[in-house]
Amino acid sequence: MPADYHTHTPLCKHATGSPEEYVSAAITAGLAEYGISDHAPCRPEPFDDWRMLESELPEYFEWIERAKTAAADKVKIRTGMECDWIKGCEPFIEELNGKYPWDYLIGSVHYLGDWDFDNPKWLGKWAETDVEAVWTEYWKTYTAMADSGLFDILGHPDLIKKFSYAPAGDLDRFYEPVIDAIAASGSVIELNTAGLHKPCAEAYPAPRFLELAASAGIGLIISSDAHAPGEIARDFPKARELAMAAGYRETQLFEQRKRKGAAI
């Protein structure tokens, strides 16, 4: 496979492994490129307990340099961050963009208001929630993120399904407006295999969303969302099958915020 761009480091406080171990795993998996994209800081700090602090950015840059040294000419190292889309975050995202010569930025929605809905800590809240309303708010938020134009890659599009809570009926009513927004933005989406190991037991996004994205000409990357070296490129053969079934024949590679196609 060409690349795995959505991966984490121990700085997010819920991942393990050294740069050398991740690089070794990427080489063993036969990747052409390994991308590092840990959870970016958020203000005000401490924002939560699953991301690096602003003061740890130099340590993040050092982690990246260690990975580059370990990689030598065996695998290309690409650099990014996974940035949370939260109301009013735009100036800070722009500030983060200027702190390093990133190859890409991933935008993700983990929060609806003050609820990080994919956090197992708050799983009980789902039973007290109007799922239709939550899904409506999630996709409205995701559309706003796409409209911002700040991100090269839009992360795990239907993360909202993680704990298998979904409204009844045809979900195209949620998908179609955001597909239009993503297509207009020029961003690409990721096919994220981490969902296969969550309660939803399905990659992000669902096959139907993937079909609509392919039909709309939206670019794709395949990602593991690795939080340990052993998760690098996890389930990529399955992801390739899903992508091909949806109509994709290529993924995207990024360098200095510019992309090019590569065969799946």
Domains of the chain: 3-263 (3.20.20.140)
Do residues 135 and 174 lie in contact, with contact meaning Cβ atoms separated by under 8 Å?
A: yes
Nearest Cα residue to 13 out of 62, 43, 47: 47
Q: What is the pLDDT of residues 16-71, one digit of tens each?
A: 999 999 999 999 999 999 999 999 999 999 999 999 999 999 999 999 999 999 99
Which pLDDT score, from 0 to 100, does residue 231 have? 98
pTM of the model: 0.98
Q: What is the pLDDT of residues 91-128, one digit of tens each?
A: 999 999 999 999 999 999 999 999 999 999 999 999 99
Pairing of the two strands 250-255 and 258-263: antiparallel
Nearest Cα residue to 105 out of 144, 149, 138, 140: 149
The encoded tokens of residue 128 equal: 């007290």
Which pLDDT score, from 0 to 100, does residue 1 have? 77
Q: What is the pLDDT of residues 151-171, one digit of tens each?
A: 999 999 999 999 999 999 999
Euclidean distance between CA atoms 68 and 197, whole angstroms: 29
Euclidean distance between CA atoms 35 and 62, whole angstroms: 15
Euclidean distance between CA atoms 152 and 171, whole angstroms: 25
Q: What is the pLDDT of residues 170-191, one digit of tens each?
A: 999 999 999 999 999 999 999 9
